[in-house]
Amino acid sequence: MRPLLPLAVPAGEAVLDLLPTLARALAGELDHALLPHAADAAPDPALGPGRALAPAEDDPADPTAVVVATSGSTGTPKGALLPAGALRASAAATDARLAPGAGTRQWVLALPAHHVAGLQVLLRSVRAGTEPVVLPAGPSTPAAFVAATAAATGTHLLTSLVPTQLVRLLDAGEEAEAALRRYAAVLVGSAATPAPLLARARAAGVRVVTTYGSSETCGGCVYDGRPLDGVHADVREGRLVLSGPVVARGYRGLPGHPAFPAGPGPRTFRTDDTGEVAGGRVRVLGRVDDLITTGGLKLAPGLVEEALSGTPGIGEVVVVGVPDAEWGQRVVACVVPAGTAPTLAEVRDRVAGVLDRWAAPRQVLVLPELPLRGPGKPDRARLRALAAGDR
């Protein structure tokens, strides 16, 4: 049985030293599976580093290449078992969608490579046969991104960002916008991208592509609401379900986990997200755990966030529910203002004009910036704690 061995992933250009190992993993040639982790932190002991993969966690015909820790939004991170074939299928479908035709694909790595989105930049570079340009270690800055873009030589430039990075690049001025315009595609994911931000980027000539996916699907597998080739999306019992060749074979040490229902056909992943699928397009409304029950009615925060999108005075917004003696949970809009923040009355009127009045926030929490976790997701648990303590 093949062991699961830690792979320390450094920041900055030192990460390029991992490319030969990742190439062998992508080809299914390693005698072990890889457990990527940040070089300045130990691998999660719960994922069993150093121990052999169980028979159901591997397959000689399509070996498990990497075990990627999930972001842990519901508690202890789990390890998604990603076969080499799934990673190859993801890379091929991404290439076909983003940069069809002749030309040299080159990626710019602007995310931590121990998370699935950053790791995929390296693996897609391996498949493309080109070396990615890597931002230096330390905080991601517009100046570093501009310099990395200037160093790139491919005819089809590609990168992956989180919404906060895109905001900062657009705020940085013309030089950063010009750098963004060089890309055949700028993937933006990890968290929902506000509609005004997308509109602003596209008005500046940036070819932004929104992504939806997770470690369990080799990263993004739905681009601009449309599943990649070979990926199928539907809704079962209120949850989005994704199936296809990009899906993991399960979780490390958790055989029979309900997120991966057994059955004939392609591998299937039952997400923790609510959403809709209509006309072949996927609309994500938020996590099941984030649903707010207020006045006896259930509310998806994403609907309120969409309603507030573009409201004057709102730069970023995340909606959460906190305990309330009268309503069970009260709806709170956590706002990073753009200029003068809107009043509670203005926020309530905006939402009531789009949704029913009961869905309107009963509190506005103004913050200088949103707390984040992992590769760039809003920390809703922290926001709930801040909102609960604001009264």
Give the pLDDT score at 103.
Answer: 82
Share of the chain above pLDDT 90, in %: 70
The Cα 299–Cα 327 span in angstroms is: 13
User: Tens digits of per-residue pLDDT, 272-326?
Assistant: 998 899 998 999 888 888 888 898 888 888 889 888 888 888 888 899 999 988 8
What would the mean pLDDT of 202-209 be, rounded to a whole number? 96
What would the mean pLDDT of 360-381 be, rounded to a whole number? 86
Give the pLDDT score at 361.
Answer: 94
* Tokens linked to 241: 């379900």
Give the pLDDT score at 237.
Answer: 87
Task: Label the pairing between strands 79-83 and 105-109.
Answer: unpaired
The Cα 250–Cα 51 span in angstroms is: 17
The Cα 115–Cα 291 span in angstroms is: 26
Give the pLDDT score at 125.
Answer: 96
**Highest mean pLDDT, choosing among 209-223, 304-318, 367-381:** 209-223
Give the pLDDT score at 390.
Answer: 62
Say how many CA atoms lie within 13 Å of 175 toward its Cβ.
11
Structure-model confidence comparison of residues 10 and 103, the more confident one: 10
Q: Which domains does the chain have, with CATH numbers?
A: 4-283 (3.40.50.12780), 291-388 (3.30.300.30)
Give the pLDDT score at 72.
Answer: 56
* Tokens linked to 222: 């739905």
Asked if 15 contacts 137 with a C-beta cutoff of 8 angstroms, the reply is: no
Give the pLDDT score at 332.
Answer: 94
Q: What is the 3-state secondary structure (H, E, C) of the chain?
A: CCEEEEEEECCHHHHHHHHHHHHHHHCCCCCCEEEEEECCCCCCHHHCCCCECCHHHCCCCCCEEEEEECCCCCCCCCEEEEEHHHHHHHHHHHHHHHCCCCCCEEEEECCCCCCHHHHHHHHHHHHHCCCCEECCCCCCCHHHHHHHHHHCCCCEEEEEECHHHHHHHHHCCHHHHHHHHCEEEEEECCCCCCHHHHHHHHHCCCCEEEEEEEHHHCEEEEECCEECCCCEEEEECCEEEEECCCCCCCECCCCCCCCCCCCCCCCEEECCEEEEEECCEEEEEEEHHHCEEECCEEECHHHHHHHHCCCCCEEEEEEEEEEECCCEEEEEEEEEECCCCCCHHHHHHHHHCCCCHHHCCCEEEECCCCCEECCCEECHHHHHHHHHCCC
User: Tens digits of per-residue pLDDT, 24-40?
Assistant: 999 999 999 999 999 99
Task: Label the pairing between strands 208-214 and 219-223.
Answer: antiparallel
Q: How confident is the model at residue 75 (pLDDT cuts 50, 70, 90)?
A: low
Task: Label the pairing between strands 156-161 and 133-134.
Answer: unpaired
Of 102-116, 120-134, 167-181, 374-388, least confident by mean pLDDT is 374-388
User: Tens digits of per-residue pLDDT, 339-348?
Assistant: 899 999 999 9
Give the pLDDT score at 176.
Answer: 96
Work out the mean pLDDT of the chain and round it to a whole number: 91
Of 65-74, 156-165, 358-367, least confident by mean pLDDT is 65-74
Per-residue pLDDT at 94 exceeds 60: yes
